[in-house]
Amino acid sequence: MVEMVEHGTLNYEELLVYGYTPGDLIVFSSNVNPYGPPPAVTAALHREIDRDAISRYPDRLSLDLRSRLATHHGVPENAIIVGNGTADLMWLLAFLFLRGKRVVIFSPTFGEYRNIVNLAGGQWQPVCHPGWVRQPDGVYTPFDTGVEEATAALAAQQAEVVFLCNPNNPTGQHWTEDVVQRFYEAAPRALWVIDEAYTEFTPSPWSAVGWHARGNVIALRSMTKDFSLGGLRLGYAVAPAELVVQMQHAQPPWNVNALAQIAGITALEQLAWRRETMARLRRECASLQQALVERGFAPMETTTNYFLTPVTDAAQVRKQLLAQRLMVRDCTSFGLPRYIRIATQRPEQNRVLVEALARLRLPGTQGA
Ligand SMILES: Cc1ncc(COP(=O)(O)O)c(C=O)c1O
């Protein structure tokens, strides 16, 4: 059996053990916009249900959505493929492009990249994000390394495929276009997968979508985070047209359902809503961090809605909070057993978490 890395979203088996329903919890472990989905999306879904969207087969190629995404990003339509969330597209990438490949993964990061490389029988090597070092036991610790070191480590690997999450989950670091260009130059012949699931949460959301024209760069864009469509599932890739054709051939037919397509089309008309909620979340994230600092914690800097906070034992902290119906991300599976990741929620919910954390009284929980 291939070893699989766990996720931080709701684990429904675990909920059964606790006797909880999803609505019983305040979920700080999933990085979804807590203000969504946009009301216009919900209204459009209701309308489409009344118009038979549930019975009719969906457009297999999501042509309408694809065309609007192309206009939105200023890229050709044939550079876009829509998926049932970006996780779906990652598995497609694994099936087509990762078999037996030598893959570099900028780490610590989202565990799904490792999972798909393992499932595809490839070999993965971590290259540390600047600011981190990997210990022999696989644990990552903060370290004073820069772009130079990461670039040199990547160049030494002769990777055939590179995964870069930008901004990175779970660290919240966001590399500028210049820095990513320097990384790219260290492996210019590799296939690059740049996961931009959280780009829109940052104050300066630059995108590598235009890099599809280089012929070896795939940008993954989720719509489940900023537009809060996690349950509906929707994502897309912007990729070289010849790779898009291969992916279309390999994609299970009709796997992007009709309601998800309508949600995506409507969401693209809600950019002002997105801007407003993102700005609000950034302010609330800063307030939450400040409240944690006042309670003796040392949350790490972030560019997104989520951030790492050092604790002595992340698994214990998660467990104790879960007993109080609060779910944070134990970062052990990222190689960060002494960190929890907190995704900013609404102010009243954030206050509940700060109070609960302050009450935990685990040795060393407070402070770095
Ligand atoms: C970095 C990153 N990429 C992709 C995904 C998957 O997103 P989607 O809902 O689009 O499948 C996640 C989900 O947690 C993520 O953290």
- pLDDT by 10-residue block (mean), the chain, 368 residues: 75 86 92 97 96 94 98 98 98 97 98 96 98 97 95 97 98 98 98 98 96 98 98 98 98 97 98 98 98 97 98 96 96 97 98 96 52
Is there an atom of ligand 1 within 6 Å of 110 CB? yes
Is there an atom of ligand 1 within 6 Å of 45 CB? no
CA-based diameter of the chain, in Å? 58
Q: What is the pTM of this model?
A: 0.96
Is there an atom of ligand 1 within 6 Å of 197 CB? yes
Closest ligand 1 atom, residue 84 Cα: 11
If phi > 0 it is left, if psi is from -120 to 50 it is alpha, else beta; for residue 57 that is beta
Closest ligand 1 atom, residue 223 Cα: 10
Is there an atom of ligand 1 within 6 Å of 224 CB? yes
The burial class, CB within 10 Å (0-12 / 13-18 / 19+), for 301 is: exposed
Residue with tokens 């320097």: 182
Centre of ligand 1 from the C-alpha of residue 72, in Å? 21
Q: 112-117: long-range contacts (C-beta < 8 A, 24 or more apart)?
A: 112/5, 112/7, 112/87, 113/163, 113/165, 113/193, 113/195, 114/5, 115/2, 115/4, 115/5, 116/90, 116/91
Closest ligand 1 atom, residue 9 Cα: 14
Question: What pLDDT is stored for residue 22 in this prediction?
Answer: 86
Is there an atom of ligand 1 within 6 Å of 87 CB? yes
Cα–Cα distance list, 288 to 174, 197, 297 (Å): 20, 22, 11
Centre of ligand 1 from the C-alpha of residue 85, in Å? 7
Centre of ligand 1 from the C-alpha of residue 344, in Å? 17
Is there an atom of ligand 1 within 6 Å of 211 CB? no
Closest ligand 1 atom, residue 229 Cα: 9
Closest ligand 1 atom, residue 233 Cα: 9
Question: What pLDDT is stored for residue 363 in this prediction?
Answer: 54
Question: What pLDDT is stored for residue 21 in this prediction?
Answer: 87
Centre of ligand 1 from the C-alpha of residue 364, in Å? 31
Is there an atom of ligand 1 within 6 Å of 228 CB? no
Specify whether the CB–CB gap between 235 and 83 falls below 8 A: yes
Specify whether the CB–CB gap between 216 and 239 falls below 8 A: no
Closest ligand 1 atom, residue 110 Cα: 1
| Nearest residue to 305 via CA among 193, 194, 169, 186 | 169
